[in-house]
Structures are given as structure tokens and as C-alpha cells.
């Protein structure tokens, strides 16, 4: 493997590592600072990030890391987006495969780091920061909740991908700013419902550890966090590349 390819893989791995570490870590911190006996719906304390803090933190770290990594790797820290680019012939097969592998590796490494940062009891209570379909939002459960959760993840990912690839100038700072803004809004809307993962890598690493260290069915929402982001990314790519047609692509 060429040195350039190794550099790209290393950068994408570190990028996803940071994204998952801070995104899942914020969920764990919110659980840790929740007053004893209270619920997520209770008034927040000064030390508790809450929904706004988690959404803002996820949006900021995503904005910074996308601006730093996307111009070099082109993976956008998301296997669903990488797969979409491969489908639309914007990434070669070997590079897409290595990027997806690096993204999942970064996710698992972040979960390992979380294991050593937080107490195991806290991690169990916070489900290792893994996203899940909220049973209170969808009390009927079953296939209906899974379908609704997948649909929400699809819609959120669609708008994220449309915003990212709808930019025509390719400026890294502008790209990061727009991506972070959309990711923040998606989290504010979707976090109480599905955790607003929008990214299979954001889901996989924490879920692996949750499945090993807890007795609950950590894999019950697998369809939501694989099918939702992947289909949403493909639809977003189709919309941008085939319908929206950025000015730089017009002939």
C-alpha cells in the first residue's frame, strides 16, 4: 500500500475516532451529571449538557473534523456517505473500501477509549452513548417503531448529504460550517427520537460494547442505523447529483 493511501486511512480513522468519542461521550456526561432520581425530562443543572449541549457539541465536532479531513480523504467520516460516493462513481472501489474499514475501526477505537474514561456502571446506564429508538417516543414498539426510526434517520441523513454536496465552491471552512449547522439541527430534532446518528460508524462502536457489557438487546435497532443512513445518503446523492446540479457541474 502506498504511503499516500496509508495517510488517508490514518486521517479518516482519527477523524471518526474523534467524532464518535465526543458524540457518545457527551451522552455519557449528560447521564453522569443527571441528578439522582431525576429523569431526562427533568430541569437541567448547570453541569448537565442536556439536549442542547449534546446537539451543539456533536455539530461543532462534526464541523471541525469534516473541514479538516474531507478535503484530504473525501470520506466525510461516514460509511453511508462513502458508499453513496462509490455508487455515483465519485470514489474508486479500493479507496471506498479502505475508507469504510477505517471509519468502522475509528468507531471501535473510540468505544474502547470511552470504556477507560468512564465508570462501567455509568456506561451501562448511558448505553455506552449508543443511539437507540426511544421507547417513550414510540411506545408501540415492534416493526412500526423500527420503520419510523429508520425513516427519520433517512430524512435527517438526506438533508445532511444534500447540504454537504450542494455546495459548489468546495471551500473546506464553509463545508464544515454548513455540515455542522445541519448536524446540530438534526440532533436537536432527532436525538430524543432515535439519537440522530445519521452515521453507521457513530452507532457501531458504542453498540458493540453495549452488547458485550449489558443484558439488553443492543442490536434490536440495527435496521434503523444501517438502512436509514444508507438509504438517506443515496437519496441525497441522487437529489444533488441528478436533480439539484450544483453550478460547478453544469455545462
User: Half-sphere exposure of residue 157, counting CA atoms within 13 Å on the CB side?
Assistant: 34
Q: Are 111 and 209 in contact (CB under 8 A)?
A: yes
Rounded (10°) angle between helices 50-73 and 172-194:
140
**Along the chain (251 residues), what's the average pLDDT of each consecutive run of 10 residues?**
90 98 96 73 65 95 96 96 97 96 98 97 95 92 92 98 85 93 97 97 97 87 97 97 70 44
What b-and-e string marks burial along 16-40, b requiring 16 or more CB atoms within 10 Å of the CB? bbbbbbbbbbbbbbbbbebeeeeee
Is 223 within the bounds of a domain? yes
Residue-range definition of the domain harbouring residue 30: 3-242
Question: How many structural domains compose the chain?
Answer: 1
Q: Does residue 106 sit within a domain? A: yes
pLDDT value for 71: 92
What is the model's pLDDT at position 251?
A: 44
- Taking a C-beta distance cutoff of 8 angstroms, is the pair 86, 74 a contact? no
Region of residue 142 (phi > 0: left; psi between -120 and 50: alpha; otherwise: beta): left
Helix axes 93-117, 79-87, angle to 10 degrees: 180
Q: Is residue 248 a part of any domain in this protein?
A: no
Within a 10 A sphere around the Cβ of 100, how many other Cβ atoms? Answer: 21
Q: What is the pLDDT of residue 6?
A: 94
Q: Supply the CATH number for residue 155's domain.
A: 1.20.1080.10
Question: Using CA atoms, how far apart are residues 106 and 81, in angstroms rounded to an integer?
Answer: 16
Answer whether residue 37 is part of any domain: yes
- Give the pLDDT score at 77: 98
Residue 250: inside a domain? no
Query: Is 180 within a domain?
Result: yes
Whether residue 61 is contained in a domain is answered as yes
Specify the 3-state DSSP secondary structure of 245: coil
Q: Per the domain annotation, does 188 fall within a domain?
A: yes
Does pTM surpass 0.75?
yes
Amino acid at each position: 500500500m502506498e504511503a499516500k493511501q496509508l495517510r488517508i486511512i490514518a486521517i479518516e480513522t482519527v477523524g471518526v475516532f474523534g467524532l464518535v468519542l465526543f458524540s457518545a461521550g457527551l451522552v455519557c456526561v449528560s447521564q453522569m451529571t443527571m441528578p439522582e432520581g431525576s429523569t431526562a425530562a427533568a430541569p437541567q443543572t448547570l453541569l448537565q449538557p442536556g439536549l442542547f449541549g449534546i446537539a451543539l457539541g456533536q455539530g461543532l465536532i462534526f464541523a471541525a473534523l469534516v473541514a479538516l479531513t474531507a478535503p484530504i480523504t473525501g470520506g466525510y467520516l461516514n460509511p453511508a456517505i462513502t458508499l453513496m460516493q462509490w455508487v455515483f462513481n465519485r470514489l474508486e472501489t479500493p479507496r471506498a473500501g479502505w475508507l469504510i474499514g477505517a471509519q468502522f475501526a475509528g468507531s471501535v477505537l473510540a468505544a474502547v477509549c470511552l470504556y477507560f474514561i468512564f465508570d462501567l456502571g455509568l456506561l451501562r446506564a448511558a448505553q455506552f452513548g449508543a443511539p437507540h429508538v426511544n421507547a417513550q417516543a414510540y411506545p408501540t414498539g415492534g416493526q412500526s417503531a423500527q420503520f419510523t426510526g429508520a425513516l427519520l434517520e433517512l430524512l435527517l441523513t438526506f438533508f445532511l448529504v444534500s447540504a454537504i454536496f450542494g455546495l459548489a465552491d468546495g471551500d473546506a471552512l464553509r463545508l464544515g460550517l454548513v455540515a455542522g449547522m445541519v448536524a446540530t439541527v438534526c440532533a436537536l430534532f432527532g436525538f430524543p427520537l432515535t439519537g440522530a446518528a445519521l452515521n453507521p460508524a457513530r452507532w457501531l462502536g458504542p453498540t458493540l460494547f453495549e452488547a458485550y457489557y449489558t443484558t439488553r438487546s443492543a442490536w434490536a435497532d440495527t435496521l434503523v442505523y444501517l438502512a436509514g443512513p444508507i438509504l438517506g445518503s443515496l437519496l441525497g446523492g441522487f437529489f444533488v447529483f441528478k436533480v439539484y446540479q450544483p453550478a460547478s457541474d453544469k455545462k
